[in-house]
């Protein structure tokens, strides 16, 4: 388990870096009158919220032995 944590940390770092790069370089800018560049924040925060829900679910199910 102790060898697995650095690898998971590296994978998480790469995923977050890729999310920032995709948000800044790939995501389109919305209509200027509807928020413009400030809407790009959703390209990072919505996937982060989904990931958080999955992690909480795993943390709840793992101790109960259903995992």
56: domain range?
4-61
**Is 16 inside a domain boundary?**
yes
**Is 27 inside a domain boundary?**
yes
Nearest to 42 by CA among 55, 15, 23: 23
pLDDT computed for residue 67 by the predictor? 55
Average pLDDT for 57-66: 78
**DSSP assignment, residue 27?**
S
pLDDT, one tens digit per residue, over 39-55 is: 777 777 887 888 888 88
**Is 25 inside a domain boundary?**
yes
**Is 66 inside a domain boundary?**
no
**Res. 24: pLDDT tops 80:** no
Do residues 44 and 19 lie in contact, with contact meaning Cβ atoms separated by under 8 Å? yes
Total count of domains within the chain: 1
Average pLDDT for 52-62: 84
**Is 37 inside a domain boundary?**
yes
**Is 67 inside a domain boundary?**
no
Q: For residue 19, what are the CA distances in angstroms to 12, 26, 38, 39, 50?
A: 10, 10, 16, 15, 14
């Amino acid at each position: 388990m102790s060898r697995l944590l650095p690898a998971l940390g590296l994978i998480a770092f790469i995923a977050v870096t890729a999310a920032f790069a995709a948000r800044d370089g790939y995501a389109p800018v919305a209509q200027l009158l509807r928020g413009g560049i400030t809407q790009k924040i959703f390209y990072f925060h919505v996937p982060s919220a989904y990931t958080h829900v999955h992690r909480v679910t795993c943390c709840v199910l793992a101790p109960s032995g259903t995992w």
